[in-house]
């Protein structure tokens, strides 16, 4: 294998499609990365414990890229994996996948960490990684089908743990818009109605496409409403939104955060959800809606710990899963893939609606 000049992160991105094919999971998220030849073992173990569907990919000093995939998870009392029928090892230059001959054998091991420990992890029969070097076992072909790797000592200069999520047949990594927001709304209108504890009427008040309205226009639109849904479609065709009914009763000069216990969030089309999902706050009496004064130039509206709409884009909060109940492992990545900025995610809206909600008086 010839040395390559690309970083491991770039190589993972280039090979995203083949990784999807191997794992049958559509989205990859790097949860641990190091380009230090001395791997931080406690940090590595903290990230690997309790993970499922993860790849460990490493690049050697000669440019070779190797890795392992496991579907099962470890825990603090379980340092070995057995009977993982989805386990395989692989190389990425060129991409090749190798299945284990005996699936009931041990396929992954970490080592109880001690201060002077050098052992990072091991795939029994394949390779062991330690600080600062590792070994590819010379008898690897006895354990894996079709493999011709040569047993040798290796030096690792980059390593990543990559979590895989989302069934490929449900959610490709990016989805070109298939339907207009109007079509999607009518498809899921009854689903939205079911999220309320009494009959409701829903009526679109206004919608805007790519060019966002101002905070003044937004405030004027919602001022006379008793409750409203903000429905968002991103350029990747993910559709989500929120419901609120606490509305400022007069003009205000500063950012206004309100407590709204009727608030909920939802996803209609998510990265890996089979069905639409409603999310409620983990705690009552927390700030769940933010309004911006009419003179605000950039920001328009927000739901703290979920999203903030500005003139340019929508920012999604990384800690969504902490503040909402029953959120899948993907967390905020239900609504965005691969657009991380600092700790949050930035998405571009394709279309945004405000929907008036009128509850039955019964």
Query: 359: which strand partners?
Result: 200
Would you state the pLDDT for residue 127? 96
Buried b (16+ CB within 10 A) or exposed e, 281-318: beeeeebbbbbbbeebeebbbbbebbbbbbeebbbbbb
Would you state the pLDDT for residue 13? 85
Would you state the pLDDT for residue 176? 41
Would you state the pLDDT for residue 6? 84
Would you state the pLDDT for residue 170? 33
Would you state the pLDDT for residue 75? 62
| Residue 345 near residue 313 (C-beta atoms within 8 A) | no
Q: How far is CA 86 from CA 82, 93, 163, 184, 196, in A?
A: 11, 22, 14, 35, 41
Would you state the pLDDT for residue 72? 77
For the question of whether the overall pTM of this predicted structure is more than 0.75, the answer is no
Residues of the chain where predicted confidence (pLDDT) is lower than 50: 1-4, 168-177
Would you state the pLDDT for residue 137? 93
Sequence-separated contacts (24+) of 99-107 with Cβ below 8 Å: 99/144, 99/145, 100/125, 100/143, 100/144, 100/145, 101/142, 101/143, 101/144, 101/145, 102/143, 105/143, 106/80, 106/81, 106/82, 107/68, 107/70, 107/81, 107/82
- Give CA–CA dist 212/82, Å, rounded: 53
- Give CA–CA dist 6/333, Å, rounded: 26
Per-domain residue ranges for the chain?
Answer: 8-167, 181-359
């Amino acid at each position: 294998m010839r040395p390559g000049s690309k970083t491991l992160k770039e190589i993972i991105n280039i090979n995203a499609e083949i990784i999807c094919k191997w794992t049958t999971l559509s989205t990859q998220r790097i949860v641990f990365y190091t380009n230090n030849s001395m791997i931080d073992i406690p940090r590595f173990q903290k990230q690997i414990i309790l993970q499922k569907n993860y790849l460990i990919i490493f690049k050697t000093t000669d440019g070779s890229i190797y890795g392992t995939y496991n579907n099962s998870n470890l825990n603090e009392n379980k340092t070995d994996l057995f009977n993982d029928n989805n386990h395989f090892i692989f190389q990425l230059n060129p991409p090749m996948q190798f299945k284990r001959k005996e699936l009931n054998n041990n396929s992954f091991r970490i080592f109880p960490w001690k201060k002077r420990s050098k052992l990072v992890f091991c795939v029994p029969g394949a390779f062991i990684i330690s600080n600062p070097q590792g070994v590819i076992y010379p008898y690897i072909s006895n354990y894996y089908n079709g493999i011709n790797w040569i047993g040798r000592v290796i030096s690792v200069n980059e390593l990543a743990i990559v979590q895989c999520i989302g069934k490929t047949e449900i959610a490709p990594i990016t989805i070109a818009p298939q339907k207009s927001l109007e079509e999607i709304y009518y498809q899921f209108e009854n689903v939205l109605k079911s999220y309320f504890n009494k009959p409701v009427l829903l009526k679109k008040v206004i919608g805007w496409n790519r060019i966002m309205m101002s905070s003044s226009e937004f405030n004027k639109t919602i001022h006379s409403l008793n409750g409203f849904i903000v429905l968002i479609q991103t350029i990747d065709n993910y559709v989500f939104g929120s419901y609120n009914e606490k509305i400022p009763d007069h003009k205000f000069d500063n950012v206004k955060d309100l407590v709204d216990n009727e608030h909920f969030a939802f996803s209609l089309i998510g990265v890996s959800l089979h069905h639409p999902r409603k999310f409620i706050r983990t705690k009552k009496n927390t700030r769940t809606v933010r309004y911006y004064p009419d003179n605000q130039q950039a920001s328009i509206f927000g739901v703290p710990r979920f999203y903030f709409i500005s003139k340019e884009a929508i920012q999604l909060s990384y800690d969504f899963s902490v503040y909402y109940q029953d959120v899948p492992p993907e967390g905020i990545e239900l609504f965005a893939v691969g657009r991380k900025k600092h700790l949050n995610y930035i998405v571009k809206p394709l279309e945004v609606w405000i929907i008036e909600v009128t509850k039955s008086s019964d």
